[in-house]
Amino acid sequence: MTSLPLRTLRVAAPVAAVCLALLVVNGASARNPFTADELKDMDAKLTASAKRGYDLWYGARADMANNGLACANCHPDGSATNPQTFPKFMPSFDRVAAYREMINWCIENPQGGKALDPNSADMIALESYSYYLHRGVPIDTGLQTRQTAGPTPKNARGLNVPGTGIGFDKK
Ligand code: HEC
């Protein structure tokens, strides 16, 4: 058996060590594809968030307004909210703004309410509902002039749920 020259070993040993480390890391993070049950569970959680968003959209939280207005009064079926265009330059902010900032802007200004914690479950629920209605609409970040196209929901209000009875949202 011929022994490897020392120089080759000096190079080969660290390379082998890195390969081994990568294998271990990969082995630890690899997982099987999601099962049907897991996918169902994830979908149920997203739907629950969108339904909570729907309730909030129709005025379920009193502190989001001081004048009786809810998102749905001005944005029925999520119209004119255009989540697919964010982040985009908002002249009113004089900078590029995130979608949730615009939600808080509407809570504080037209509705005179208390802004939501941007990372709260309720803020994410409002996003879930609005993005849910806009599924399939191509992402098109850019300028405010591209904000007229509304979603075309398959069901009334885009979600197959009974009305809340609040405001114009008939039961
Ligand atoms: C009284 C009417 C009114 C109510 C109620 C209202 N908005 Fe708005 N909303 C507006 C107006 C007006 C604009 C445009 C503001 C601008 O361009 O600076 C707007 C813009 C937006 C935008 C940005 C749309 C875009 O393409 O730039 C989002 C998102 C939005 N509203 C979400 C909401 C949500 C969520 C609520 C409820 C919490 C809500 N709005 C309540 C009037 C309203």
Q: Please indicate whether residue 82, judged by its CB atom, sits closer than 6 Å to ligand 1.
A: yes
CA 160 to chain centre: 20
pLDDT digits (tens, 9 = 90+) for 134-165: 888 888 887 776 555 555 655 445 556 665 55
From ligand 1's centre to the CA of 160, what distance in Å?
A: 24
Query: Where in the chain are the domains?
Result: 38-158
* Averaged pLDDT of the chain: 81
Top pLDDT among 95 and 12 is at 95
Across 15-24, 117-126, 162-171, the highest mean pLDDT is recorded for 117-126
Residue-level pLDDT at 46? 95
Q: Which CATH architecture has domain 38-158?
A: Orthogonal Bundle (1.10)
**Cβ–Cβ under 8 Å, residues 138 and 84:** yes
pLDDT digits (tens, 9 = 90+) for 106-121: 999 999 999 999 999 9
- As a whole number of Å, the CA-based R_g of the chain is 25
User: What pTM did the predictor assign?
Assistant: 0.78
| pLDDT for residue 128 is more than 60 | yes
Structure tokens at 54: 């729907």
Q: What does the alpha-carbon distance between residue 53 and residue 127 come to, in Å, rounded to a whole number?
A: 7
pLDDT digits (tens, 9 = 90+) for 45-96: 999 999 999 999 999 999 999 999 999 999 988 888 999 889 998 888 999 9
Q: What is the mean pLDDT of residues 2-13?
A: 58
Q: Please indicate whether residue 128, judged by its CB atom, sits closer than 6 Å to ligand 1.
A: no
Of the candidates 57, 114, 63, 171, the residue with the CA atom closest to the CA atom of residue 49: 57
Residue-level pLDDT at 120? 98
From ligand 1's centre to the CA of 113, what distance in Å?
A: 13
